[in-house]
Amino acid sequence: MGNEKDPPIGQIFLGNPVNLKKAGYTEGSGNVDYIPEFECTGGSTNPADKQCPYQLRTPDAMGLGLTGWDGRLLHINMPSYRDPLCPRTLLKLFTKAKRPFDIRVRVLQQNIPEEDDPCLDKYCEMMADLRKETGGGDTSKGGPAGDECPHKDQVFIHHINAKEAAGPTYARGLIGQDIREAYEKKEISPQDFCMSTDSHMDFEPHW
């Protein structure tokens, strides 16, 4: 992988070598050095094949800068299974973000309506309380006067009854379908960023 000019910047785990050996694989397992340059060739020795996936090319930038946020949104996928921390995660996500108005969140909410608080409604209650405590300002990223639930229109809730849930892979698959539909409606650009996270997370300030 790579050459002497491209030292590894860390390691990646390619699977348990014991389990892979049982499955008939004898190479490419365990911890291996990660050399980004290797991704630019895919292992090919032909210089014409070089294309670094982490380096954006001008023809593919759709008129935007090759780096930076300008013109781009961040779409966050968040499956939630009866998680009481889902509203708090939304609160921390927006109030600690450096660019909160550039964020779109899709929550796959798997709740029992008679027993669980709706994630977005509870978030709005928490945000209203926060704005009363702080008078708005930087803590809740402002918003027009009287707007007690900033960023509410940036959150999409896909609700299914928790009794119909079928595990995290199924939940993320449903969010994937939502992403696809949003892309077809041109609500998502190929130049936007995407992130998947859990519904019980906190965030660093100015993330």
Average pLDDT over residues 151-176: 93
pLDDT number for residue 29: 67
Q: Give the DSSP H/E element, type plus range, for residue 182.
A: helix 168-184
Q: What percent of the chain has pLDDT over 70?
A: 79
Residue with the larger pLDDT of the pair 5 and 107: 107
pLDDT number for residue 58: 87
Predicted confidence (pLDDT) per residue in 166-199, tens digit? 998 899 999 999 999 999 999 999 999 999 999 9
Concatenating the DSSP letter of every residue in 119-177 gives: HHHHHHHHHHHHHHHHTSGGGGT--STT-SSTTGGGEEEEEEEGGG---HHHHHHHHHH
The whole-chain average pLDDT of the chain stands at 84
Predicted confidence (pLDDT) per residue in 7-39, tens digit? 666 777 777 777 666 666 666 667 777 777 776
Lowest mean per-residue pLDDT among 47-61, 98-112, 117-131: 47-61
Query: DSSP character for 110?
Result: E
Lowest mean per-residue pLDDT among 109-118, 124-133, 187-196: 124-133
Kindly give the interhelix angle for 119-134 and 86-95, rounded to the nearest 10 degrees: 50
Q: Are 29 and 37 in contact (CB under 8 A)?
A: no
Q: Give the DSSP H/E element, type plus range, for residue 103.
A: strand 103-111
Is residue 45 predicted with pLDDT exceeding 80?
A: no
